Homo-oligomer: A and B are copies of this chain.
Amino acid sequence: MGRATIEDVASRAGVSIKTVSRVVNHEPNVRPGTRERVEQAIRDLRYRPNTSARSLAGKRSFLIGLLYVKPAASYIINILTGAVDACRAGGFELLLHPCRYTDTDLPRQISELAGNTRLDGLILTPPLSDMEALVAELDRSGVAVARIAPGAHGDPARSVRTNDEEICAELTRYVASLGHRDIGFIVGHPDQLAVQQRYTGFLRGLEQAGLSMRKSFVCHGDNSFESGVECGRRLLQRKRRPTAILASTDDMAAGVIRTAHELGIRIPAELSVTGFDDVPLAHKVWPALTTIRQPMQAMGEQATALLLERLRNGRNDREGGEPALIPSELVIRDSTGPVPE
């Protein structure tokens, strides 16, 4: 049944194809009456511009890519959902670009990938979003970029961030307010800036609560469940153990819970545990995790919106301001309680 082309629309509306093109692209200088006629013809014919032709003739591809590391963290699905929504709304399509974080020539590899498919833009998720070398390479190759990144530093106009540090300080104060004085902390993957900020927030919270940090209560993991189990063991098998453990990640918190169960330590009666992210897992473990809800979907959506806006306007409006901040919130569930007598 052959799909309608711009030519069909043009002849039906009694105008040239160029005028149809103008209407379709919302360009100025079309008389309202003409516009009306064209739009009617478009509706009648159910006309949809051919994307390939558009990309070939114009410069854009209407494709934007989402870059993430493999294996995907569980929150990726949320970012992804937000990003897809924003894309749809803007008439774009979202492509997936998983990649291996450990590849040394990642920048080259990615910018080549982007070039192959002629991506209009790329959304960077952590920890990729923190790799300045990558961003630089991408800039060089002319792909627009949006970063879902903690980066409070530079590049504010195209980043979206959340208040990791402040909220973690708040969490710490909350735990302190329950009477805990011996608070352990599990730092996450060293390459993720967000993690550093959470740790910083913890230190700040401690200070605000008038407590001091005990080095032996700080343990370094890699964001995984397994590393949570491991750190849990190290922290809980000391002669003097913390009465609360804050993990930089829900997965690690779940690991601590596992260890506690194995050691017969009751939560929250004998030990309080908190996570970070509020992934689906968080409320499915027992006891349900007190954690920080990271608005991942909103971040994906915002970052994408930022990118699309940038693509439309050439440059971005918010140049030089603060990065868009999407606040996280404290979610109190069952894994925290008053310090044991």
Contact = CB atoms under 8 A, between A and B. Distances in A.
B81 A98 contact: yes
A72 B61 contact: no
Interface string A235-264: 000000000000000010011011001000
Contact count band on A = 35 or more
Contact of A52 (B118, B254, B258, B285): B118
A137 to B, nearest CB: 14
Contacts of A284: 225, 251, 254-255, 258, 281, 285
A213 to B, nearest CB: 28
A251 B98 CA distance: 26
A225 to B, nearest CB: 5
Contacts of A22: none
Interface in A101-150: 115-118
Contact of A71 (B74, B81, B96): B81
A100 B60 CA distance: 29
A322 interface: no
Contacts of A77: 72, 74, 76-77
B56 A84 contact: no
11 contacts: A50-B56, A51-B55, A51-B61, A51-B117, A52-B52, A52-B61, A74-B280, A77-B77, A81-B98, A84-B96, A96-B96
Given A77-B77, A94-B96, A285-B286, 4 more contacts: A84-B96, A96-B96, A258-B284, A261-B286
